[in-house]
Chain A
Amino acid sequence: MSVLAYCVALPGSLAQPDNVNSFEVEGLVCYYAEIPRMNANATETALRFHRVNTALFAAAAILPFQFPTTAASLEELQQKVASQAAHLRAALQRLQNSVQFELTFSVTSPASTSSQTGTEYLRQSQARERQLAEVLAQVRSSAGSYVLQWKERERGRDRRLFALVERRFQQVFSQVLQSVALPNGVECRVVGAWPATEFVDQ
């Protein structure tokens, strides 16, 4: 039997989901479940983790743990959460009215042919980078008035933008994004709203 950590939240605002336990430590509530062990049902456990955190997040700000964060015992989890409680509590207080959207930009132009030279390959890569940079700037400009903070990451050949948005503006932010016209050959997937974990200093 081990303990699977779901998330932490500020006390007082959340109902306890079925079959989920919690403890309070240093001004935080930590939600967890006891599980036999991570086995062939790992995907099912992961989906339950997602459902529980989504239900909690619908009501208030939470900070989910990276899945699957497990401890050998409840005492061990309590000690670890307590050791970082001040940091987590400050992050929750700062982010309590915010949500996070994730925008993934990809260039979908036809892949280069194998007969090209190295120079041509590098030129194509430069052009792709330039095109993505222009699109990101356009999106930042169009939706920027609803965004408290942006973060950017590369992921392979894709670019990822994380937008920190006030919870009350999440729908209008989605609508603004949908009105942005992208150039041919560039796609963007937007997923959100999520808990704003990307904006917590680790």
Chain B
Amino acid sequence: MSAQPTFVAIGSKNNAELSLVEILDHILNSGIVLQGSLVISLAGVDLIYLGLSAVITSIETALAGSAKARLERGHH
């Protein structure tokens, strides 16, 4: 049986694909950690968190833009 990760909201029948933010949040915060000198690359993590910030910011910007557009349409 397939075990493809999906998103489910309790109380709703909506299933959807995982967002980029959820995927990155998951792989950065879970998993086996090898002890010793193996490096969990800080530079890489920083870059991904920067990328996440960019994604979140772009979503917020898009939402703010659409809200503004709705308001403007409402005035005309």
A-to-B contact residues, CB < 8 Å: 5, 8, 38-40, 42-43, 45-47, 49-50, 53-54, 57-58, 63-72, 76-77, 80-81, 83-84, 88, 99, 102-103, 139, 167-168, 170-171, 174, 177-178, 180-182, 187-194, 197-198, 200, 202
- A68, B3: Cβ atoms closer than 8 Å: no
B71 contacts partner chain A, Cβ-Cβ < 8 Å: no
Q: How far is the CB of A120 from chain B (nearest CB, A)?
A: 29
Q: How far is the CB of B57 from chain A (nearest CB, A)?
A: 14
Contacts A65-B32, A66-B31, A198-B30; A181 near B40 (Cβ below 8 A):
no
Contacts A43-B47, A68-B45, A178-B10; A167 near B1 (Cβ below 8 A):
yes
B-to-A contact residues, CB < 8 Å: 1-13, 18, 20, 22-24, 26-41, 43-45, 47-48, 51
- A194, B41: Cβ atoms closer than 8 Å: no
Q: How far is the CB of B12 from chain A (nearest CB, A)?
A: 7
Contacts of B41 in A (CB 8 A): 38, 68, 70
- B3, A200: Cβ atoms closer than 8 Å: no
- B28, A67: Cβ atoms closer than 8 Å: yes
- B34, A65: Cβ atoms closer than 8 Å: yes
Select which of B10, B22, B51 is within 8 A of A42 by beta carbon: B51
- B34, A192: Cβ atoms closer than 8 Å: no
- B5, A40: Cβ atoms closer than 8 Å: no
Q: How far is the CB of A90 from chain B (nearest CB, A)?
A: 13
- Nearest residue (CB) in B for A38 is B44
Task: Report the Cα distance A177→B12, complex, angstroms.
Answer: 10
Select which of A83, A102, A194 is within 8 A of B36 by beta carbon: A83
- B32, A200: Cβ atoms closer than 8 Å: yes
Select which of B4, B36, B51 is within 8 A of A54 by beta carbon: B4
Contacts of B47 in A (CB 8 A): 38-40, 42-43
Select which of B13, B23, B24, B32 is within 8 A of A63 by beta carbon: B32
- B9, A188: Cβ atoms closer than 8 Å: yes
Contacts of B20 in A (CB 8 A): 43, 47
Task: Report the Cα distance A38→B9, complex, angstroms.
Answer: 34
Task: Report the Cα distance A57→B6, complex, angstroms.
Answer: 13
Task: Report the Cα distance A58→B4, complex, angstroms.
Answer: 6
Select which of B5, B24, B38, B48 is within 8 A of A194 by beta carbon: B5
- A191, B34: Cβ atoms closer than 8 Å: no
Task: Report the Cα distance A180→B8, complex, angstroms.
Answer: 12
